[in-house]
Structures are given as structure tokens and as C-alpha cells.
Amino acid sequence: MTGRERLLPGGFMTNEPGTQFTDRIGILLSIFFVYLIIARFGLSTQTGAALPTLLWLPSGIALASFLLFGHRVWPAIATATFLVFLSVGMPFVAALGIAFGNVVGPLAGALLVKRYSDFHPSIFRIRDNMGIVASALLVPIVTATIALVSLQITGATLPGTGTETWSIWWVGDAMGILVFAPFILTWFNRPFFERTPLQQGELILVVASVSLASLHIFWRTQPLYDDYLFIPLTWAALRTGPRGIALSILIASSIALSGTLLGHGPFANVGLLYLQAFMATVSGVFLVIAAIVEERRLALETLGEHVRELEIALHKISSEDEAKKEFLAVLAHELRNPLATILSSIELIHMEVLSLPKNLAQLLETINERAKTMVHLLDDLLDISRISQKKLKLRKETVLVDRFIDTLVLTIQPLMRRYGHTFSVTRPDQELFLNADPTRLEQIFVNLLTNAAKYTKPPGFIEIIAGHEDDMAIIHIRDTGMGIPRNMLRRIFEPFFQINQGQLGSEGLGVGLALTRQLVEMHGGTIEVASAGTNSGSEFIVRLPLSATPVSQDSPARDRAVVLRSRSRPSRRVKGALKILIVDDNEGATKALARLLELRGHVTEYVLTGSEALDKALQFEPEVILLDIGLPDIDGYEVAKLLQEQKKPYYLIALTGYGQAEDKERAKQAGFHYHITKPAGLKDIEAVLRKVPHAATQKL
């Protein structure tokens, strides 16, 4: 070991710069003098001229030193033991043998404890304390045996006293380990244990209580039951931890030993051996109890830290989730503007160019279809977000299943023809009614049928089978498509999960089936999937609760319930022109929309900011104002309020990418008569224009 190495607790060395050789010498000298003084005191309590003491505290010092500083401190222990026994008249060879035993025994005990319990010097854990107790039983066997052999070789023991000498030596060493080793390990291993003033006060009270109880029991002339000592020791074990109980046991043992030696207390007449057996039992039991309590406390603290970390993680996840949802909303708004431009431009080309080359017409149709696909993806993303935030509300009506299927067939038939699939429908054998949101119901089954068409190689076979079981309507969607691997069936409804990316029909984000399941569950139903594996087709089974009170077939309510909007329904031309002001900062989309409306016979003007809209409205006097919300200067809500202050009969229509429920409600409160979510085609806008009050159209 070099002069720059430093001896640390546990026997480790470090090469910290500037460390002096005296650090190691200081530790060795400290152990030597403490050991020498305590050993000399212990020998003063011996019960005979050639017999050992019943309280050999140096054994505890030796074990604690080896545990804290490693085997390199053996010279201090060996030298101190040799000198102290030599000073009381012990033969040189006997003193040397005893010194050897007092090194070998504790060193073996320290190695045993470290191997058995992965020892921590503070002995907070149960296994650490059990290691100390085990050492107290085994180490004295080594020390007592070597000492007895040394004494007998030199003739330092009387004939026939070997067994008594060995027993007393064993008891003395065991007591030294149980009483003194825990005290040293807990109090001299590191700076004073951090405690609050209240805890420090409690520790003082505990020590005082143990001292008073010990004095009352072991210093009385008249014998008193020693069970009273358990009360303050229990308090110490439960409340003050390993340090408190180690100090309490040391104090109680010291008072008990001194009182007994003076002829007081319950053990004065039976001898020190019984006292030591009693104190050894008390020490072992309460050390273990204190370790159990301390380990439980540390476990609860660790659990508390983990709970706090979990709360922080959950808060972070929640915050990130909110940020994702906000991002989706902004993303949808920003993407809808360019999509609106694309769709309007395509419609404008179709209307202005009378005859297009065949290849150009096909390209435009492809662009149109892809743009609409992007619109549907955005809608699905926003629906997922709204459901997770519990903002999506169902507008339930009574729906006749048979008529719903009629509408569904009309909607999906063009897709089936385009893919070249055979489409079959099996209707229920009786009238079935659902209490459902017609729009969301259509969304569920159009999504399932669209997937069936996309994931089936043409020519394929797809069928709808509708029936009922008890109080549930059951609708099957079957196909002869690519199928689903069995190990993927459980994950098919997870958001953003796709089975075969890059293969047939795999375009998209993987949110369609997740949204479908959530919409089915919002209706109180269930959806499941079955497939025999790859290339074996798939079957989706939707169960929805039947309505308990169907309306009459002839009532207007039933007609409203079952007539679903068809995406392929042709629009009608307007009967008369309207004066329309378009307000949107997307100049390309605004010009295209203005041109489309002009081709339909309307008179249009457009501006790009809110402030321009206020001035243009006074000059142009429009009947209808198509107003974007996200304007660069004044938001559309504020513009709507300022327009109403002009006291003109404007019909305000919000044409915006903000399409969530709260956006529509805010638009309504701001004074808008209608809300259209971008990207909107000419058909959607014309459908709203037809709802403009008749009084406005009379001005044509």
C-alpha cells in the first residue's frame, strides 16, 4: 500500500491526492488504545485469578473494526490483546496465543457476516442484524477454544476447570459482540444520524427511560422482576431505530453488570452467567425487532419515493398527451387549408375546362381521391382526440336497420365496383331498430367495408349479414381478403397499429379500427374480429343494443332517423345569385372558391384580413359572409361580433379548419349562423347556402 492510499470503511483503498500516511496510522492507533483500555477494564471484572471475564467487550470492538476497516487493522488488535494479557501476569506464550485467537475469531466472523448478508455497516437490515447475532454465537467458539489451548499449554489454568473457563470465555465474547459491536457500527460509522429536534428529544427520553428502568431493576437491594425493562426497550426498538436500540442495550447491560457485581438486583444470588444469558437474549431479540422496524420504514420511504416518481411520470405523460392532442388539432387546421385549395382547384378545373384529355382527367381524379383520403385521415385523428378528451357527443335517433343497410349499400357500392368485388347483403328477418347516431353509425360500417375492399385482392367477395340475438342487433362484415395473423388479432384495434406496412392496402395511419371500436363502445355495443390466418379472409362482428321503443314506420321521426346523407348525392344548382364576401388569409384557396361560386352564378368579393372584411362589408353589402377563424390580424370570432355591430342582415358562415365541438359552440356564441369545417367542397358550401333565409334570397 503506497503512502498516498487511504484506508476507508469496509477495507477499501483510495489513491486520493494529498492523503497522508498518518491517516492509516491514526486509525490503527485509535483502535489500539480503545481496545487496550476496554480490555483492561474487562479483565478487572474477572471472577477468578486465572479465569476470563464474563463481559469481554473487546471482541465487539474487534468484529466492528474488521467490518468497518477490513483485515488490515489486525496488528492493532493483536498487539493490544497481547499487551493487556501480558500486563496481568499471563505467560508470554499464552498471551500470544490469546492474541492470535482474538484476531482469528473476529476476522472469521467478519468474513462470515459479509458473505452471508452482503453487510452494510449501519446494520439497518434484518440480515445484517442476524449476521451479528450469528457471529456472537460462532466467533466465541474460536476465541475460547484457542485461548483455552494456550492456557493449558502454559499451565495457566487449574486442573478440572477447562470447561468452566471455556464457557465463561464464550459467554464474555458473545456478550461483547452483542452489546458493543452494534453500538460501534451504528454510532461511529458515519456522522450523527440526521434527526429532527423532536426525534432527538424522543431519543433522550428513551435513553433516560432505559437507564431509570435498569437502575430500578438491577440496583435494588430487594429483587424486582426484570420484565419491566422490556417496556422502554420496546419503545427504543420501535421509535429510535438501530442506533437508539444499540445505545439502550449498552446502557442497560452496563447498569445490570455493575449492579450485579455489587450484589444488587435479581441476578445477584444466581451469578453473572445467568445475567449474561438474559442480556444476550434481550440484545439479540431487540436488535432484530429494531432492524425489522427500520427496514419497514426504509421500504415505506422507498415506496413513497416511487409513488412520487410515478405521479411525476403520470403528470408528464398527461401533459405530453395534452400536447399531442393540441398538436393534432393545430395540425388538422393547418393541413385543411392546403387541402381546401387542392379540392377547390380540382372542381374549378372541371367546371372551367369543358373537355379534358383522358389522361389529365384521370390524374385530376387521382389527386381528388387522395385529397379526400387525407381529409378522412384528419377526421379520424380528430375523432380519436375528441373521444379521449370525452368531447365527442353522440346525437342519437331511432334507426331502422333495414333502411340503414339500404343507405349503406348506396354509399359503398361505387367503392366495390371500383375494386371489382362482388358485394352481398343478407337482411334481418324482422324489423330491427337502434337508438344510434346515424352519422357515426355510417362511419363505423363504411370504415369496416372500406377496409374489407382495400385488403381484398380483386375480384373478391364481401358480404353484410344482419340479424339479432336476444336484445342485440348483430351485423357481420365478411371478406375473402388477406386475413389477419392469429397473433395479431388482439392488437388489431390498437391505435396506430398496422399489420403489414407497405403491402396491399396498408396506406393510412392505423387509427380507423381504433376509432371504430370506440364509436361502437360509445353506442353500448361490442366489436370483435375473427380470422383463420393469412390469406383466409376476415370477419368483423358488431353487436349493438336494440331500441326498446321503435317509432311508427309512417312517422316523420322514422324518416329522419333512417335517411343518411349519401356522399354521392348530386348537388342542385342555386335558383338565384347571392352576394357573398369571402374572408380568408389563404389567397390561393380564396380565389379558387370565389371563382367556383361565380361559376355557380353568385356575386363574390374576397379579402384576406379581418379589418379589410369590416370595410368591405360596408361597401359591398354582402348577404352571406364566409369567414375564416384563424385570420392574421383579428380572429374570426371578434370579426363576427364587429360585423353584427354594423346592424346589417349578414348571414355569417364560419369556414375554418377548427372543427371540434367546442369550436362550433364558440362560433355559435360569436353569432355565426352556420359552421363548415375545412376542407369543404363546393357541394358542402352550396348545401349551406341553400339554408340562407328566404328573405335574403328575395333580393336577387
Overall residue count recorded for the chain in this entry: 700
Q: For residue 677, which phi and psi values (nearest 5 degrees)?
A: -95, 130
Q: Where are the beta strands (DSSP E) in 480-571?
A: 526-530, 538-545
Site of grid cell 466492528? 64
Q: Which three cell numbers stand for residue 653?
A: 358562415
Closest by Cα among 541, 540, 558 to 549? 558
Q: Please name the CATH architecture into which domain 1-190 falls.
A: Orthogonal Bundle (1.10)
Contacts of 513 (CB under 8 A, 6+ apart): 447, 451, 492, 493
DSSP 226: G
Q: What sections of 398-530 are H helices per DSSP?
A: 401-419, 438-454, 512-522
Amino acid at 385: S
d(CA 175, CA 266) in angstroms, rounded, equals 19
Closest by Cα among 685, 682, 573 to 347? 682
Contacts of 331 (CB under 8 A, 6+ apart): 378, 381
Phi/psi region, residue 647 (left: phi>0; alpha: psi -120 to 50; beta: rest), is left
- What is 397-562's CATH topology? Heat Shock Protein 90 (3.30.565)
Q: Can you give the pLDDT at residue 540?
A: 94
pTM value is 0.46
Cα torsion angle, 376, 381, 383, 384, sign:
positive
DSSP 624: E
Site of grid cell 372500406? 450
Closest by Cα among 354, 455, 462 to 408? 462
d(CA 676, CA 627) in angstroms, rounded, equals 10
What dihedral do alpha carbons 645, 648, 650, 652 form, nearest 10°? 0
The SS3 call for residue 604 is strand
Q: Where are the beta strands (DSSP E) in 361-407?
A: 397-400
Mean pLDDT, consecutive 10-residue segments, the chain of 700 residues? 42 44 78 87 62 73 88 91 87 90 91 77 72 86 89 76 81 85 79 70 90 87 72 88 86 85 82 79 86 83 82 71 63 64 69 61 66 67 63 82 88 86 89 88 89 88 91 92 85 72 49 83 91 88 83 39 33 63 84 82 89 89 90 88 90 84 84 85 82 54
DSSP 504: T
Within 10 A of 184 (CB to CB), how many other CB atoms are there?
A: 21
Using the CB atoms, write b or e for 646-676: b if 16+ within 10 Å.
eeeebbbbbbbbbbbeebbebbeebbbbbbb
Summary count for the chain: helices (H), strands (E): 21, 14
Q: Can you give the pLDDT at residue 41?
A: 79
d(CA 121, CA 188) in angstroms, rounded, equals 10
Q: Can you give the pLDDT at residue 561?
A: 31
Phi/psi region, residue 191 (left: phi>0; alpha: psi -120 to 50; beta: rest), is beta
Q: Can you give the pLDDT at residue 332?
A: 61
Contacts of 93 (CB under 8 A, 6+ apart): 150, 153, 154
Q: Can you give the pLDDT at residue 6?
A: 43
Q: Can you give the pLDDT at residue 698?
A: 39
Q: Can you give the pLDDT at residue 700?
A: 32
d(CA 218, CA 215) in angstroms, rounded, equals 5
Cis ω before 438 (30° cut-off from 0): no
Q: Can you give the pLDDT at residue 490?
A: 80
Long-range contacts of 419-422 (CB under 8 A, 24+ apart): 419/453, 419/454, 419/456, 419/458, 419/460, 420/458, 420/459, 420/460, 421/453, 421/456, 421/458, 421/459, 421/460, 421/461, 421/462, 422/459, 422/460, 422/461, 422/462
Q: Can you give the pLDDT at residue 74?
A: 92
Instruction: Please check whether the domain covering 315-388 is classified as CATH 3.30.450.
Output: no
Top-level class of domain 579-697: alpha beta
Q: Can you give the pLDDT at residue 526?
A: 93
Q: Where are the domains of the chain?
A: 1-190, 315-388, 397-562, 579-697
Closest by Cα among 281, 295, 297 to 230? 281
d(CA 31, CA 28) in angstroms, rounded, equals 5
Q: For residue 659, which phi and psi values (nearest 5 degrees)?
A: -120, 15
